[in-house]
């Protein structure tokens, strides 16, 4: 065996994994077609570099966004976020001290304490959105990226990859941080507050979780997992997919031809496919009606009851806003009022109006209506701030008759409003806003004539 001196030993150069240095555009000579999920417009993806994105030329929706070393980037962020979450659930979160009485809570107690007050559904919603679903999401990302980096996808990779996109709307670690800050400001003048290691770890976790979800390049990931089958023969760009009897997969983006029944499954990820979401308007109306009904008890009944020196004071959502204003906490009062009053009511009215105009929409107005839909879909989750405030205060303020806070029946009702409005936004199909209404029939010479669409350019 030949030995080298320490300074003369040859250095080994490790090339980056193939999945990270060769984007799909460099491995294929044909054009890759995509159908926009918001307006159904078919377009071809251009070659993309790091930091670049491809948007729909019709509505501006982002189709693909590239990152430098996507697999390594997502893997590093997911591992870091998972470690931060483990630290957040292992150490004290926050503590308070008033008149010699103190209490210290951990992150998990924000949910478990609610169970002792007969609020199991609210407790499940809290722990699922701030810890369980984010942890499953991070484990799924690490599982997928590890398989891609080693060159052999791990078992069940396709099913896990399909599930990741459904987790994102329900992960609310960033909303929980805002709720924690609001809670601490509300009691800062009544007691001495101390922040634990868990609080700062959870703040880091929330930031890393957001970065992880933004760094995941679904287009590159699906191409590396399953390749990319050819688009159906004859698929044309510069026209809608529905007019050609095809549709884009909402999960992996692949264009598929649907059978005569108008529904099927994606050939790459096996996600359910439809030309349009079945009964979209009817389901959205039903969810909006249920959310409106639940919004009444959410505002009529108290969301929490504060006990101080033996006297109890119930507080509704509006009552809490008024109390914050009287205390001089105008910024916090504004946050609660916007998140708990303006956002839910605005979302109910916005989705109801979109349902009303969907069948009569025109491309001239579809752009602004699609922006309104994006806004309602984005802000819906932030209404959970009030529920998180209740969960934190109930777990933290437990000093018997001296000072304690108990949850009210409005907490469950308001949580139901948030979930129902989020589901309503998910069931609404924004492509209906771009569908041109059927042309009016004009009788000429005893015959019925319909306008014939002009021939669209064929993709080459």
133-170: pLDDT as tens digits: 999 999 999 999 998 888 888 888 889 999 998 999 99
Could you tell me how many residues make up the chain?
460
Per-residue pLDDT band at 400 (split at 50, 70, 90): low
Q: Strand pairing of 442-444 and 447-449?
A: antiparallel
Strands (E), 369-426: 403-407
Q: What structural domains and CATH numbers belong to the chain?
A: 14-68+227-274 (no CATH), 279-429 (1.20.140)
Burial class of residue 165, CB neighbours in 10 A (0-12, 13-18, 19+): middle
User: Which tens digit of pLDDT belongs to each residue from 186-225?
Assistant: 777 667 788 889 999 999 999 999 999 999 888 888 888 8
Classify 238 in phi/psi space as left (phi over 0), alpha (psi -120 to 50) or beta. Answer: left
The candidate with the shortest Cα–Cα distance to 186, out of 365, 385, 39, 52, is 385
User: Which tens digit of pLDDT belongs to each residue from 95-115?
Assistant: 877 766 777 888 988 899 889
Query: Is the model's pLDDT at 309 over the cut of 80?
Result: no
What percentage of residues in the chain have a pLDDT greater than 90? Answer: 35
pLDDT for res 438 = 54
Q: What is the DSSP letter of 433?
A: G
Collect contacts of 315-319 with beta carbons under 8 A, ≥24 apart.
315/408, 316/410, 317/341, 317/386, 317/410, 317/414
pLDDT for res 184 = 85
User: Which tens digit of pLDDT belongs to each residue from 51-80?
Assistant: 888 999 988 899 998 888 888 999 999 999
For residues 58-68, one letter each, b for 16 or more C-beta atoms within 10 angstroms of the residue's C-beta and e for the rest, the string is bbeeebbbbbe
64/52 Cα distance (integer angstroms): 9
Q: Indicate the SS3 state at residue 403.
A: strand
pLDDT for res 402 = 67
User: Which tens digit of pLDDT belongs to each residue from 16-47?
Assistant: 455 666 777 777 667 889 999 999 999 998 88
Q: At a CB cut-off of 8 Å and minimum separation 6, what does 292 contact?
A: 348
- What are the residue ranges of helices labelled H in 254-316? 280-300
């Amino acid at each position: 065996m030949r030995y080298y001196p320490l300074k003369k030993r040859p250095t080994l150069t490790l090339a980056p994994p193939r999945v990270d240095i060769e984007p799909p555009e460099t491995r294929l000579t044909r054009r890759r077609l995509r159908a926009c999920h918001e307006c159904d417009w078919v377009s071809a993806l251009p070659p993309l570099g790091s930091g670049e994105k491809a948007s729909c030329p019709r509505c501006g929706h982002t189709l693909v966004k590239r990152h430098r070393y996507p697999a390594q980037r997502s893997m590093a962020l997911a591992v870091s976020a998972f470690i931060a979450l483990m630290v957040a659930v292992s150490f004290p979160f926050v503590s308070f001290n008033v008149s010699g009485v103190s209490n210290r809570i951990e992150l998990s107690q924000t949910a478990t304490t609610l169970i002792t007050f007969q609020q199991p559904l609210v407790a499940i919603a809290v722990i699922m959105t701030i810890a369980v679903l984010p942890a499953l999401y991070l484990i799924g990302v690490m599982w997928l990226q590890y398989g891609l980096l080693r060159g052999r996808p791990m078992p069940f990779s396709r099913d896990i990859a399909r599930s990741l996109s459904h987790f994102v709307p329900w992960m609310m670690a960033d909303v929980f941080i805002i709720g924690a800050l609001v809670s601490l400001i509300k009691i800062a003048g009544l007691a001495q507050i101390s922040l634990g290691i868990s609080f700062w770890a959870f703040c880091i976790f929330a930031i890393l979780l957001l970065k992880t979800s933004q760094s995941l390049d679904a287009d590159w990931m699906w191409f590396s997992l399953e390749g990319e089958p050819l688009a159906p023969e004859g698929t044309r760009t510069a026209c809608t997919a529905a007019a050609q009897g095809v549709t884009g997969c909402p999960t992996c983006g692949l264009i598929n031809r649907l059978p005569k029944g108008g529904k099927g499954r994606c050939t790459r990820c096996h996600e359910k496919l439809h030309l349009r979401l079945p009964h979209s308007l009817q389901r959205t109306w039903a969810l909006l009606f249920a959310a409106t009904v639940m919004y009444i008890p959410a505002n009529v009944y108290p969301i929490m009851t504060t006990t101080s020196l033996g006297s109890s004071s119930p507080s509704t959502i509006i009552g809490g806003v008024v109390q914050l204003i009287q205390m001089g906490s105008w910024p916090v009062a504004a946050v609660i009022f916007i998140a708990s009053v303006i956002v839910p009511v605005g979302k109910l009215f916005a989705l109801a109006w979109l349902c009303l105009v969907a069948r009569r929409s025109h491309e001239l107005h579809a752009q602004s209506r699609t922006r309104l839909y994006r806004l309602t879909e984005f802000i819906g989750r932030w209404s959970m701030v009030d529920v998180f405030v209740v969960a934190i205060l109930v777990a933290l303020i437990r000093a018997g008759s001296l000072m304690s806070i108990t949850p009210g029946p409005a907490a469950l009702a308001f949580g139901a409003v948030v979930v129902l409005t989020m589901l309503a936004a998910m069931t609404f199909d924004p492509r209906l806003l771009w569908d041109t209404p059927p042309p009016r029939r004009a009788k000429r010479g005893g015959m019925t004539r319909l306008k014939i669409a002009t021939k669209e350019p064929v993709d080459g």
